[in-house]
């Protein structure tokens, strides 16, 4: 259970007025205090950015006046008002660490009573409300093959990271099939995937089911409460299982104008894929059936043609350059 030091108020609009002073008491002023918190839902132990605002009636420059932020356990933190725009005094943004234990929190910001230019401003306060959550475990899978032959082994990559960049080296995860049965388990390496800030990666090998079809499998990594709490993380991915290919489709891709071969062109006959070689040729092994054969290449319009595959076959794809959009 999280501590609560003030009555819960609407988020970010926490406003508390001191008792109204009488119009005749010229020497007393009142003060309004509010605190912005970002984010309002924060990871356990992570930084929160706060900014407190104090405005007075009559308006008053309170720069140098210190607010007290009362939070769990430790001594209150002093934060000075440093900006004044003629109406509102501000502290500017300052950072505080969120508690580690998940839950709802309401800290308190107090603007102590102060006398300024002959006016006595009474104490004001505002709650600082926020929610602490466990770190989120984020899971990604990639390099899943577009088609796997019945019973054959296939590989894919798994990446897992913490929403707050905790080190996930050696963290364990399991792989579960469409029935929920575990079909594999492994642990993350210490390597981070290139181009990412904190995605630990592992490569796993699995065996495809014995019947063709599209299966939904998942990767899951259990949560933990020890130390910094983490949620469970999971993601599902598709496994397209096909029967043994019976036919070889040879595709030759050329530039329509020059008739020169196009190497590196992508050939897709869903779910089968291939890439053309330096001679512009790709071989796709497919089951008998009807497909839409696509050949696409950067800067070219995609070539697409329906094909009915009953035996080995050859086909030629002539790709046209895509016109540059007219700018006028």
Partner 1 sequence: MARKRDSDPEDRKLQGEKAVSRRDFVKKGAAGVGAAVLSTSGTALAQVSPVNAIQWNYEADVVIIGGGCTGLPAAIRARDLGASVIIVDQNFDLGGKMLHSGGQVSFGGGDPLQLRDIAGENDREGFVTAPRRQSVEELTEDPDFLFRDHTDWSVMDAAAQAPYRYNERDLHRAYADNCSATREFLMANYVRFGRIFGTHGNGGMSRARRAVTFLMEGATTDIKKGTVSKKDAGIPKVSSSHFAPRVMEDGSFVASKGARANGAALSRCLEFAAREKGVRFILNRHMDEIIREQQFSGRVVGIRASYSPRFAPETGRRLESLWQDGNVDDRTETIYIRARKAIIIGAGGHGANPQFRSMFYPAFREPAFVSSGWALLGPRGQDASGIIAGMRIGANLAGMQQNISYASTFHIPGNLATRDPYTDMLPGHPTFSFRGSTGINLPDASFQHLIVVNQVGKRFFNEMLITTRQGGAAFPADPRKGQPKSGLDHVQMDWRNASVANIKATYREPNSIHAALAMNEGSKAPDFFSGPIWTIFDRAAVERDKWNIDPPFTSPTNGFFFSADTIQELAEKIHRGHEFQRIPLTYLVETVAKWNSYVDKGSDPEFARGPDAPMYKIEKPPFYAATLNAVWHDSYGGLRINGRAQVIDMQGDPIPGLYAGGESSGGGNQHGLGRALVHGYIAGTNAAKEPGN
Query: What track of x and - describes contact with partner 1 for positions 71 through 90 (by CB under 8 A)?
Result: --------------xxxx--
Structure tokens at 314: 């050859």
Buried (b) or exposed (e) across 4-37, using 16+ Cβ within 10 A?
A: eebeeeeebebebebeebeeeeeeebbbbbbbbb
Cβ proximity to partner 1: between 9 and 302 the closer is 302
Cβ proximity to partner 1: between 18 and 43 the closer is 43
- For residue 299, state whether it binds partner 1 (rule: CB under 8 A): yes
Sheet holding 200-207, edge to edge: 137-142, 153-162, 200-207
Structure tokens at 289: 């059936």
Residues numbered 197-256 forming contacts with partner 1, rule: CB under 8 A: 197-199, 214, 216, 235-238, 240
Cβ proximity to partner 1: between 211 and 270 the closer is 270
- Helix/strand/coil (H/E/C) assignment for every residue in the chain: CCCECCCCCCCCCCCCCCCCCCCCCCCEEEEEEEEEEECCEEECCCEEEEEEEEEEECCCCCCCCEEEEECCCCCCEEEECCEECCCEEECCCEEEECCCCCEEEEEEEEECCEEECCEEECCEEEEEEEEEECECEEEEEECCCCCEECCCEEEEEEEEEECCCCCCCCCEEEEECCCCCEEEEEECCCCECCCCCCCEEEEEEEECCCCCEEEEEEEEECCECCCCCECCEEEEEEEEEECCCCEEEEEEEEECCCCCECCCCEEEECCEEEECCCCCEEEEEECCEEEEEEEECCCECCEEEEEEECCCEEEEEEECECCCCCCC
Cβ proximity to partner 1: between 110 and 265 the closer is 265
Structure tokens at 71: 């939070």
Between CA 268 and CA 162 the distance in angstroms is 36
- For residue 22, state whether it binds partner 1 (rule: CB under 8 A): no
- For residue 142, state whether it binds partner 1 (rule: CB under 8 A): yes
Cβ proximity to partner 1: between 26 and 97 the closer is 97
As measured in angstroms, the least distance from the Cβ of 326 to partner 1 is 7
From 4, 177, 193, 263, residue interacting with partner 1 (rule: CB under 8 A): 193
β-strand pairing of 28-38 with 83-84 = unpaired
- For residue 298, state whether it binds partner 1 (rule: CB under 8 A): yes
- For residue 315, state whether it binds partner 1 (rule: CB under 8 A): no
From 8, 38, 259, 310, residue interacting with partner 1 (rule: CB under 8 A): 38
From 15, 32, 68, 140, residue interacting with partner 1 (rule: CB under 8 A): 140
From 21, 186, 218, 296, residue interacting with partner 1 (rule: CB under 8 A): 296
- For residue 4, state whether it binds partner 1 (rule: CB under 8 A): no
As measured in angstroms, the least distance from the Cβ of 7 to partner 1 is 25
Cβ proximity to partner 1: between 24 and 298 the closer is 298
Cβ proximity to partner 1: between 2 and 301 the closer is 301
As measured in angstroms, the least distance from the Cβ of 169 to partner 1 is 15
- For residue 131, state whether it binds partner 1 (rule: CB under 8 A): no
Cβ proximity to partner 1: between 53 and 71 the closer is 53
- For residue 324, state whether it binds partner 1 (rule: CB under 8 A): yes
From 91, 141, 220, 276, residue interacting with partner 1 (rule: CB under 8 A): 141
Binding interface with partner 1 (CB under 8 A) = 36, 38, 49, 51, 85-88, 93, 136, 138, 140-144, 159, 161, 163, 193, 195-199, 214, 216, 235-238, 240, 266, 268, 270-271, 292, 294, 296, 298-302, 304, 322, 324-328
């Amino acid at each position: 259970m999280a501590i609560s030091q003030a009555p819960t108020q609407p988020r970010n609009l926490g406003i508390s007025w001191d008792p109204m002073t009488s119009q005749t008491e010229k020497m007393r002023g009142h003060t309004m205090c509010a605190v912005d918190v970002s984010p309002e839902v924060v990871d356990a132990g992570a930084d929160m950015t706060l900014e407190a605002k104090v405005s007075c009636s009559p308006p008053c420059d309170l720069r140098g006046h210190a607010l007290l932020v009362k939070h769990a356990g430790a001594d209150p933190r002093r934060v000075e008002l440093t900006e004044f725009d003629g109406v509102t005094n501000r502290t500017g943004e300052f950072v505080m660490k969120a508690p580690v234990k998940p839950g709802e929190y309401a800290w308190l910001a107090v603007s102590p009573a102060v006398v300024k230019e002959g006016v006595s401003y009474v104490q004001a306060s505002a709650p600082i409300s926020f929610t602490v959550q466990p770190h989120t475990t984020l899971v990604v899978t990639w390099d899943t093959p577009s088609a796997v032959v019945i019973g054959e082994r296939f590989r894919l990559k798994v990446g897992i990271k913490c929403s707050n960049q905790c080190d996930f080296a050696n963290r364990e995860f399991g792989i579960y099939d469409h029935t929920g049965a575990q079909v594999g388990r492994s642990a993350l390496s210490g390597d981070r995937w290139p181009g990412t800030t904190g995605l630990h990666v592992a490569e796993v090998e699995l065996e495809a089911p014995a019947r063709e079809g599209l299966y939904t499998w998942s990767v899951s990594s259990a949560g933990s409460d020890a130390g910094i709490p983490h949620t469970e993380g999971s993601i599902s991915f598709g496994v397209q299982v096909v029967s043994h290919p019976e036919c070889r489709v040879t595709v030759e891709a050329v530039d329509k104008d020059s008739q020169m071969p196009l190497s590196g062109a992508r050939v897709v006959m869903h779910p089968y894929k291939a890439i053309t070689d330096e001679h512009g040729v790709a071989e796709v092994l497919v089951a008998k059936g009807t497909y839409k054969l696509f050949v696409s290449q950067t800067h070219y319009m995609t070539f697409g043609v329906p094909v009915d595959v009953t035996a080995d076959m050859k086909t030629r794809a002539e790709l046209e350059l895509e016109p540059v959009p007219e700018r006028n």
